[in-house]
Structure 1
Amino acid sequence: MEFMENQGEQAPIDKNAAAEEAAVAAEPTLEMQLAEAQAKIAEMQDAFLRAKAEAENIRRRAQEDIARAHKFAIEGFAEALVPVKDSLEIALKIETPTLEALKEGVDMTLKQLSSAFERNRLLEIAPQAGDKLDPMKHQAVSMVPAEQEANTIVTVLQKGYTIADRLLRPALVTVAQGK
């Protein structure tokens, strides 16, 4: 036993009794901490399961949206082309067309088609003679002797097209050889 001074008096202190009192006082605290931790775990598990379900729903909705977009991607373009087809069918129904009427009908149909291309961001690549060859937009099919700078366009054999800034078909060109 140890003795402790208490206002000038000495009283015996039992270490085991003090430890037991501390343990008894600490036990409810540990039980409360355990209960709090278990409640927090249950709450976090619930939040995790909800977040996981929400992520799965978002993924599923995104897949459905992509499938719908693929299915109807050309709908606008198709709507723009229907009048062009109608015009061509009307032209074929004419019994005795004149050359002038056919030319006028083809011109109007070409304007309808060009308008449909523009509305759907399908743009022509139409380089001019003398333009520098751009391998990202032009495909050189041959080199010919010419009185112009090397690697410049001499003739355009076929126009190219881009759709929404992406190359659909390069323009086919001949280019000048070096002098």
Structure 2
Amino acid sequence: MTTDNKPEDQQDPQAPAAADAATDGAENKIADLENRLAEMSDAYLRAKAEVENVRRRADEEMSKARKFAVESFAESLLPVMDSMEAAIAQPEAKVETVLEGVHATRRQLAAALERNKVLEINPAAGTKFDPHQHQAISMVPAEQDANTVVTVLQKGYSIAERVLRPALVTVAAPK
């Protein structure tokens, strides 16, 4: 018999205990990994649900914002409507009184538009033509620099630096 080969009855008594310990260690590691996997899966599902909730709330807020976007603007126009109805209710009013009321109503409307960032585009004569804010109706000979505004036929309007309607203008023709 060689020294490497021990008879079965003389095997190391610690070998089965070491194998059991290794098996217990592997089982503990697997259990720990399964617990971590369960925790991470739960955290993932919670995060996914939170993202869906945030998305749903954002969609609801956007829908409300679209639905009620003009609420402030409409509210600022109500006094203008009241003034117009008051004028209509006075059919026997003098022309001067009606004209005075029209001017007051126009001031109310201008103030309401300005409060809502709707600004006039009304270039002065001689202002350089800007195709982003002006629409040239015609070119006319004039005693001023070429490509400058000669007259404004209709005011334009912008809201928050975005043109709603360009000003209709005539432009000086090149000499």
Output the TM-score relative to the length of structure 2. Answer: 0.89
Displacement of 1:154: 0.7
Displacement of 1:25: 3.0
> 2:169 is matched with which residue?
173
Q: For the residues of structure 2 that align with 1:55 and 1:84, how far apart are their CA atoms?
A: 45
3-state DSSP class of the match of 1:118?
Answer: helix
Q: Which has the higher strand share?
A: 1
> 2:47 is matched with which residue?
51
Q: For the residues of structure 1 that align with 2:3 and 2:95, how far apart are their CA atoms?
A: 128
Q: For the residues of structure 1 that align with 2:3 and 2:147, how far apart are their CA atoms?
A: 105
1:88 aligns with 2:84: yes
Q: For the residues of structure 2 that align with 1:37 and 1:143, how far apart are their CA atoms?
A: 81
Q: For the residues of structure 2 that align with 1:151 and 1:41, how far apart are their CA atoms?
A: 72
> 1:123 is matched with which residue?
119
Identity level (%): 56
> 1:35 is matched with which residue?
31
3-state DSSP class of the match of 2:152?
Answer: strand
Q: For the residues of structure 1 that align with 2:115 and 2:58, how far apart are their CA atoms?
A: 27
3-state DSSP class of the match of 1:83?
Answer: helix
1:97 aligns with 2:93: yes
2:109 pairs, out of 101, 113, 118, with 113
Listed as ranges, the matches of 1:15-30 within 5 Å are 22-30=18-26
> 2:56 is matched with which residue?
60
Counterpart amino acid of residue 39 in structure 1: N
What per-residue deviation string (whole Å, max 9, x for no partner) do you get for residues 29-84 of structure 1? 11111000000000000001111111111111111111111111111111111111
What per-residue deviation string (whole Å, max 9, x for no partner) do you get for residues 92-138 of structure 1? 11132112101110011011101100111111111011001111111
Q: For the residues of structure 2 that align with 1:22 and 1:95, how far apart are their CA atoms?
A: 110
> 1:142 is matched with which residue?
138
Displacement of 1:2: 5.9
> 2:75 is matched with which residue?
79
**Which deviates more, 79-88 or 89-98?**
89-98
Displacement of 1:24: 3.4
Residue ranges of structure 2 left out of the alignment (5+ in a row)? none
2:148 pairs, out of 152, 162, 171, with 152
> 1:6 is matched with which residue?
none
3-state DSSP class of the match of 1:150?
Answer: coil
> 2:129 is matched with which residue?
133
Q: For the residues of structure 1 that align with 2:96 and 2:146, how far apart are their CA atoms?
A: 43
